[in-house]
Structure 1
């Protein structure tokens, strides 16, 4: 009986650890995806004061999705965003917009 309890406890710990590791990996992937914006939009999407490039932090998700898709389909002119946005899937665009909308200014 004692062995069964230990085995059950070990399985629960392993399951919890696995779920935590999966969540950590998903968060790391999302942060890496959002970091692709850092070259122009600053670390964590925060540009410096007075920059012509907008900060992304706190930007409404729906607005960001609309703008990235406009760059992607060419309806909004850009210097490099039209090229960069074509490399993102709709799911990646949604993830990036979710990340920056949830990040506090």
Structure 2
């Protein structure tokens, strides 16, 4: 019984660890174009400080082809809805 309980705890804890992606790591993939933490210093749009709803709308528009972009049309569809929402919250607080 004790062994079963330990196995169950380990199983549930490992599921919990992987349930929420590392948002800082996920956001770091945006830095190549949009700057560290979304502070773009070039022509790319700044992501830092964007309202979450606006960020989500734009990512959905890229993903479904409503908004044109040679780069984002490839990146946006790869994110899950949860990842997009987490990124929106992350960048809104930068």
TM-score bucket (shorter structure): 0.7 to 0.9
**Count of matched residue positions in the alignment of Structure 1 and Structure 2:** 77
Structure 1 unaligned regions, length at least 5? 1-21
Structure 2 unaligned regions, length at least 5? 1-16
* 1:39 maps to which of 32, 35, 38: 32
Indicate the structure (1 or 2) with the bigger Cα radius of gyration. Answer: 1
Give, in angstroms, the shift of residue 39 of structure 1.
0.7
TM-score (norm 2): 0.76
* 2:74 maps to which of 61, 80, 83: 83
TM-score (norm 1): 0.68
Runs of at least 4 residues off by over 4 Å: none
Provide the residue aligned with 2:88 in structure 1.
97
Give, in angstroms, the shift of residue 52 of structure 1.
1.9
Provide the residue aligned with 1:60 in structure 2.
51
C-alpha RMSD of the superposition: 1.7
